[in-house]
Chain A
Amino acid sequence: MSMETNITLTVNGSVVTLEAPPAARLLDVLRERLGLTGTKEGCGEGECGACTVLLDGVPVNACLVAFGQCDGREVTTVEGLGSTAHLTPLQEAMVTEGGAQCGICTPGMLLSAEALLREEPRPTEPQIREAIAGNICRCTGYQRIVNAVNEAARRREARS
C-alpha cells in the first residue's frame, strides 16, 4: 500500500524499473515518465483506441490500465514496432496505401493490426474490421486502413 511503487516491466523489449504512483494510468507513465509519446490520448475513456498498446501481446487501452497492474508484464508501444529508417511491413503499407491522414489514430491502429497479424497472418476483411473496431479514425473512412492491413499481410508473407 503506497503512493509510489517500484515496478519492473518490459517495455518494447527492454526491462525497466520505474518508480511511479501505482494508480496512475499506464498511458501517463509511458508518456510522462518514459517519454514514449507515440501513444496518444484521445478520449481518455476507453472508447477511441488512440492509446492502444499491447499488454502481453494483447491490445488494451492504456488509459484504462493502472501502472500498478503492469508488474512483470510486457508492454509494446508504437515505438516498439519499427523505426523511421526501418519500418515494419505494416507501417510501410500504412504509408503506401494512404492509411494515415491526420495521424492521431495511427499508433493505436498499428498496434491493433499488429496483434491481429501475429495471431492471424492472413486475416479476412471482417477479421480486420473487427480487430480495428476499437480504434476510431475520423479521416480515412477506414477502407484505406483495411487495405493497408491486407497489403501488410501480403508483404509479411512474401518476406517470410
Chain B
Amino acid sequence: MSVAGLALHPFSTPKTLDEALALLAERSARAEKTVLLAGGTDWFVERHVAPAEEAGVLPLVVDVSRLDALRGIAVEGETLHIGAAATYLEIRKDARVAARCPLLAATARDVGALQIQARGTLGGNLASGSPAADGVAALAALDATLLLRSIRGARRVPLAGFYTGYRRSVLAADELIEAIEIALPPEGSPFAWRKVGTRQAQAISKVAFAGLAVVASGRLARLGLGMASVAPTVALLPATRALGLSKPLGEVTDADVEQAVLADVSPIDDVRSTAAYRRHVAVRLAQRFFGELRAL
C-alpha cells in the first residue's frame, strides 16, 4: 500500500461528541455510509486485506479516537464506566480497574501486544462484532451494559441483547457506542481469563474464555461467562450459566458442564483452528473454572 492507497477516503475529525452525532445523523438520513475510526486495528487491516471492496462510493471516515466524552474511565458507586474509545493500555494501567475488575485488566493485558493495546478500544471491539474479540468475551462474563447515543438520545442495551448475528448488532446507523457500564462484583470475586492461541501475544484466539462468579454458601449467586471464537457472535453460554445457578456447586459434575457447553457453542473450522478442537477446549476451560469454584 502507499499514500495513494487510502487517499480517496474522505475524513472528518469532529471536535465534540455532539458534532460527531450530528454528522452521523445527517449522513444516515441520506443513507450515506460512515466509518467511526478509533484505534484502526480492524479498519486498516480490512483495507489491507480486501482493498477491492473499496469500489463505489467510499464511506466517510470519522475519527472518534480523541473525543473526550468517549475516553474516560470512572467508578461511580458500584458501576465501572469505561469510555468506548479508552484504549486497552489505559484500561490495563488503571488502578481502579486492576483493583475492582481484575478480569478486565487481565484481558486488556492479553489483547494483541502493547502496540495494539495502545490503539485498540472496547468500543471498536464491540462495533466490529468479531466473534473472536477477546475484550467482548470479558464484557460478556461481566454482563456489561452498553450506553448507545444518537441525536435522538441515549439508550442502554445489555451486551446479551446487542448482537443479532455474525457482525450484526442493534446499533442504528446514526448511533455510536459511548461507554460500557459494568456492575462491579464484590472485591475478590473469583474469575477466570484464558486465551488459547498459537502464541500468547498477537495471535487471534482459537478460543478465549472469561468467567466471573460470586459464591455464597456453596452456591453461585452470580455467574457470568463469555467465550470467543466458538459461535457467530461472542457466546454468553446461557445453558452453562443456567446449570451453574441451578444447584449447589458440589452437585455440578464435569459431565453436566460438558453437556451444557456443547449445547451453547457452535464452532467452525477456519484458518486458526478446527471445530472439533474448539469444542474440546471450550468444554475443558469451563470444566476447569467450575473445578476452581468448587475448590474455593
Residues of A within 8 A of B (CB): 1-5, 20-25, 28-29, 32-33, 41, 44-47, 49, 52, 55, 58-61, 63-66, 68-69, 71, 112, 115, 130-131, 133-136
A-B contact count (CB 8 A): 126
Q: A68 to B37: give the CA distance in the assembly, Å.
A: 11
Tell whether B60 is near chain A: CB-to-CB under 8 Å: yes
Task: Name the distance in Å between B23's Cβ and chain A's nearest Cβ.
Answer: 9
Interface range, B side: 35 or more
- Pick the contact of A134: B7, B39, B63, B202 (CB < 8 A): B202
Residues of B within 8 A of A (CB): 1-3, 5-13, 37, 39-41, 44-45, 48-49, 60-61, 63, 65-66, 89, 112-116, 118-119, 200-202
The answer to whether A29 touches B118 (Cβ under 8 A) is no
Closest to A58 in B: B118
- Pick the contact of A22: B11, B45, B48, B116 (CB < 8 A): B11
The answer to whether A130 touches B114 (Cβ under 8 A) is yes
The answer to whether B115 touches A59 (Cβ under 8 A) is yes
The answer to whether B63 touches A66 (Cβ under 8 A) is yes
Q: A66 to B10: give the CA distance in the assembly, Å.
A: 12
B40 neighbours in A (Cβ, 8 Å):
64-66, 69
The 7 A-B pairs of least Cβ separation, nearest first, read A134-B113, A133-B201, A23-B9, A22-B11, A21-B7, A133-B113, A28-B3
Task: Name the distance in Å between A123's Cβ and chain B's nearest Cβ.
Answer: 13
Q: A146 to B175: give the CA distance in the assembly, Å.
A: 46
The answer to whether B60 touches A46 (Cβ under 8 A) is no
The answer to whether B44 touches A1 (Cβ under 8 A) is no
A-B contact pairs, 22 of them (CB 8 A): A1-B10, A1-B60, A20-B3, A23-B8, A23-B61, A24-B3, A25-B5, A41-B1, A44-B1, A46-B44, A46-B116, A52-B115, A60-B115, A61-B116, A61-B119, A64-B40, A64-B41, A64-B44, A112-B115, A130-B114, A134-B116, A136-B202
Task: Name the distance in Å between B26's Cβ and chain A's nearest Cβ.
Answer: 11
Closest to A62 in B: B115
Q: A48 to B219: give the CA distance in the assembly, Å.
A: 46
A58 neighbours in B (Cβ, 8 Å):
89, 114, 118
Closest to B40 in A: A64
Q: A47 to B201: give the CA distance in the assembly, Å.
A: 9
Q: A33 to B4: give the CA distance in the assembly, Å.
A: 11
B63 neighbours in A (Cβ, 8 Å):
66, 68-69
Q: A150 to B41: give the CA distance in the assembly, Å.
A: 30
The answer to whether A28 touches B115 (Cβ under 8 A) is no
B45 neighbours in A (Cβ, 8 Å):
45-46, 64
